[in-house]
Structure 1
Amino acid sequence: MQITFLGTGTSQGVPVIGCTCSVCRSVDYRDKRLRVSVHLQVAGKSIIIDSGPDFRQQVLRAQVDHLDAVVFTHEHKDHTGGLDDIRAYNFRQQQDMPVHAEPRVLAQLQQEYAYIFADHKYPGVPQVAQYPIESETDVFEVAGVPFQPIRALHYKLPVLGYRVGGFTYITDANYLSPESIELMRGSEIIVLNALRHEQHISHFTLQQAVAILEDLAPARGYLTHISHQLGRHYDVEATLPENIRLAYDGLVVGCQ
């Protein structure tokens, strides 16, 4: 499996519009963070988790010229705002794009992208095939690839993370049940959100995320959904355990 981090930033991205902090003014490319998304190449398939507002820019940069499916974690706009741009794949591949999400998330997409789901469509709009994720515990398939859903809470909003083989991806969470933690255990790579140092109502802090990763002890842990409040990449990474790194846009890692 090859994993490409298309975006590792929080909902505003980094730099933040109008901000002059040291992170937003940094010239380190690792401090330039688009909205969070990840691309999986596994078993000959190309799958993206979350298509946020930067989707077009991300897939052009990563040269994702074929896409077999999109899987959503939840309905917030920083994770769904690029859905319209899947139409380029419709034209190229001459087929509907499979979209996997919980029924609640699909309903929100139908509301926000009413023209995609209309009975009488405007020519050229995106074409999607909806695949509801009906269970938060049962394995389902995305383009023939098994996905294990992992329930998390984003404040009071239920969201899904996913385990694919030895790779586990959790974003936009501030609570994982003991049952969810056990589903993650044994992963070779675990990706977890870490917004900032200070307590937050709906995201893990750096310290909380590191504590979870230290308990699970993957070979490699990566932190994502990072805000400018966390600090500069170079400075923060120097404080982390050796097997835990900050993810950054464009990072490519391999996993069984």
Structure 2
Amino acid sequence: MQVTFLGTGTSQGIPIIGSDHPVCLSDNPKDKRLRVSVLITWNDYNILIDCGPDFRQQMLANDVKRLDAIFYTHEHNDHTAGLDDIRPFFFRQGDIPVFAHERVLKALRKRFDYIFTTENKYPGAPGVKENIIENKPFNFHGLTVTPVEFMHNRLQVFGFKVEDFAYLTDLKTIENEEVEKLSDLKVLVVSALRVKPHHSHFNLEEALEFIERVKPERAYLTHISHMLGFHNEVEKELPPNVHLAYDNLKITV
């Protein structure tokens, strides 16, 4: 299984428009972050987790020619706004399967009604195949995918465990029974917004404590804001098995 970090930034990305913060002005490519998303490649299948506003740019940067499914964590704009840009995949492949909580699908139907409608559909609009997921494992072409439920302030979010890999973004609180799903991981990806505490996201300290609790072989931090600091400086301070993810990083699990 190969995992490509398509974007590792928070909702505004880095640099933020008009910002003169030192991290936003950095010349290091690893300090430039598109909105958060990963691509899992397994047995020639490409599975996208979240389809944010930078989706088109991310697909071009990684020369992705096929998309077999989109798994949605939740409905916030930085995780969903790129759905219209699946059109090239739709024109080649037909309806693209999307997997999401029923509440998330309802939000997508409202925002992208022209994609989900079956009546008098605009000829240039893409199409999707809806798959409602609950907090129980589901099968994708022989692959077992286990949702991991947690809270983003007061909003329910799904992370996903796929084989020995787990991806959890926009996490603030999680129940013990959900943590138990994360035993024996080779790779854990978890969000770490900044150094100071935040009402709806792990900060760096909370993310590191969570990693120590789960004890994966390796861990990567994502959904990073400019307030976490410079990539190279933060990386030096992390435990040996923990790394900052960066855009277009590819890892093998």
With normalisation by structure 1, the TM-score equals: 0.97
- Counterparts of 1:227 and 1:185, CA distance in 2: 28
Contact 1:194–1:209 (8 Å) recurs in 2: yes
Q: What is the correspondence of 1:115-154 to structure 2 with a 5 Å cutoff?
A: 115-118=114-117, 119-133=119-133, 135-136=134-135, 138-154=136-152
Q: Which residue of 1 aligns with 2:239?
A: 241
Which of 173, 176, 192 does residue 175 from structure 1 map onto?
A: 173
* CA distance in 1: counterparts of 2:127 and 2:74, whole angstroms: 20
CA distance in 1, matches of 2:250, 2:107: 31
Gaps of 5+ in 2: none
Counting matched residue pairs gives 252
How far apart in 1 are the matches of 2:31 and 2:176?
A: 33
State, as a whole percentage, how many aligned pairs show the same letter: 48
- Within 2, Cα distance between the matches of 1:245 and 1:235? 12
Matches within 5 A, 1:182-201: 182-201=180-199
3-state SS, counterpart of residue 150 of structure 1 = strand
**What pairs with 1:1-256 in structure 2 (closer than 5 Å)?**
1-93=1-93, 95-118=94-117, 119-133=119-133, 135-136=134-135, 138-255=136-253
Distance in 2 (CA, whole Å) between partners of 1:50 and 1:41 is 15
Give the C-alpha shift of residue 143 in structure 1. Answer: 3.9
Q: Spell out, residue by residue over 1:71-106, the C-alpha distance to the aligned partner (whole angstroms, 9 max, x if none).
A: 10000010000000111101122x210010010000
| Aligned counterparts of 2:141 and 2:51: Cα–Cα separation in 1 | 17
Shift of 1:43: 2.4
Counterpart amino acid of residue 115 in structure 1 = Y
Q: Distance in 1 between matches of 2:113 and 2:41?
A: 30
What TM-score, normalized by structure 2, do the two folds share? Answer: 0.98
Post-superposition Cα deviations, 1:181-210, rounded to whole Å, max 9, x if no partner, equal: 111121100000000011101100000001
Superposed displacement of residue 146, structure 1: 1.5
Partner of 1:4, secondary structure, is strand
Q: Secondary structure at the match of 2:79?
A: helix
| Structure 1 consecutive aligned stretches of length 4 or more whose deviation exceeds 3 Å | none
Asked if structure 2 preserves the Cα contact closer than 8 Å seen for 1:69 and 1:143, the reply is no
Check whether the contact 2:91–2:126 (CA below 8 A) recurs between aligned residues: no
Compute the RMSD of aligned alpha carbons. 0.8
CA contact (8 A) 1:221 1:243 kept: yes
